[in-house]
Amino acid sequence: MADCLFCAIVAGDIPAQRVAETARALAFRDINPQAPTHVLVIPKDHHPGLAALAAAADGLLDEVAALAHQVAEDEGVSETGYRVVFNTGPEAGQTVFHAHAHLLGGRPLTWPPG
Ligand code: 5GP
Ligand code: ZN
Average pLDDT of 100-105? 98
Share of the chain above pLDDT 70, in %: 100
Ligand 1 neighbour 78 (Cβ under 6 A): no
Q: What is the pLDDT of residue 95?
A: 97
Q: Can you name the residues that pair with 28 across neighbouring β-strands?
A: 18, 40
6: CA distance to ligand 1 center in Å? 9
For the chain, the farthest-separated pair of C-alpha atoms sits apart, in whole angstroms, at 39
Tell me the pLDDT band of 114, cut-offs 50, 70 and 90: confident
Q: 90-101 in b/e burial notation, b at 16+ Cβ within 10 A?
A: eeeebeebbbbb
Range from 32-36, 57-61, 75-79, 100-104 carrying the lowest mean pLDDT? 57-61
Ligand 1 center from residue 94 Cα (angstroms) = 9
Residue-wise pLDDT for 42-64, tens only, equals 999 999 999 999 999 789 999 99
Return the pLDDT at 1: 83
Among 17, 85, 95, name the best residue to mutate to test ligand 1's pocket (greatest count of ligand atoms within 8 A of Cβ).
95
